[in-house]
Structure 1
Amino acid sequence: MATPDSTPLILFSGLAADANIFGPQKIAFPQLTVPEWPTPAQDDTLDSYCRRLADDLRPLGDAIIGGASFGGIVALHVAQHLNPRAVVLIGSVRSPAELSRVIRFSRPLEPLTRFIPVRFLQLCCLPLSSRFARRIVPHLSGLSRQFRGSDPAVFRWSLQQILNWSTEPTLNCPVFHIHGKRDYVLPLRYTKPTTVVEDGGHVISLTHPIEINDFIRSVINQTVR
């Protein structure tokens, strides 16, 4: 019989970031798995990529699946191929209609994503990862840390999938959504979250770990009986 402490928890990091984005959650939830981002095949669509992820995760059993930012979008599509207890969105969106106008208006630029100098931009972000930056501009510093931990190939592919995203997944499980009120990447006004973090930005798993951990704990207690 599943218990809150034994139920698998799977969280996908945002836009090709690594597991460090969920550092505080890995401490709070020993059963947490943060999958690495596999390198996508040349012809991979979002659905084919997520189907492969689902096949890899199926042995974990009835899990709670979620993610931050693009990781939340991936979690929604992975959930279509599994039977999760619930989906948890952290600073993410449930449908293409909830993306910001900037992202939607940028769709014609999708072919140019292959030319983004990711490695150079990651080096430029290095000062924002300092201890001083984390204290003065925590939201921006969190974004920088997420970006610096991303694989360039996966980052470009993920960006292409966001710009091309057009279909909202149909799920048979509840979706719980927490969002930062000061999220300027995926603005709150376009979404309908379950819970709002009043002074939270986009990387609330790092900047507001207590609120995120309490939210996840609440979801587990509601869905595992």
Structure 2
Amino acid sequence: MRADHAHGMKLVILGRDGTINRYRDDHVKAPEELDPLPGALEAVARLNHNGWHTVLATNQAGIGRGLLDMASLNAVHLHLNQLLAEKGGRLDAAFFCPHTPEEGCDCRKPLPGLIKQIGERFDVELDAVHMVGASLTDLLTAQNAGCIPHLVLSGPLGVLESHQLQEVLASVPGARVHADLAACAEAIIQEGRRRAAEERGQALPPDTQAGDLN
């Protein structure tokens, strides 16, 4: 049993489109169609440097529909990891559902099957796992799997008026909202530091200003 296993591995599950790269209506079918959002790759690296493992969880119905094949999807994710490596970050794994909605699988988000696979693979309790996405589907997936739900406004929901956004969020109590992945990563890191300090019975680390607690 590893020393860090007492509290489980620190894990953040990330949606892909609208969270890490710009959302495309027509699917990302090839590496050159993957357009990273500003600051997103750096945010993953920052999480990694602070001890967080990051895993991708994405619906890829384009495979079931014949719009792209496994080799193309693997090429896209290889490219993403190469871009991350340039920033000093990495994804531990990319989990995806290849099915169309009509196939009735249990791994297509918002069903929790894909997230449960990740929990089993990494031997983590899902209630301590942060899940970040850009859609209501991602929030519902986190809720259904028992993860901590985070919404980033760097995808399609970013254009909503405030009252429209509140309507979306009403179905996922406790969801946390961030401008983008960089802001979300910072919040997760700071909360992790506070938790670790509390568990050690210490005050906050010296680089955290008291004002950050508001």
Give the TM-score range, shorter chain.
0.3 to 0.5
Please report the TM-score for the alignment, with normalisation by the length of structure 1: 0.39
More helix by share: 1
Please report the TM-score for the alignment, with normalisation by the length of structure 2: 0.40
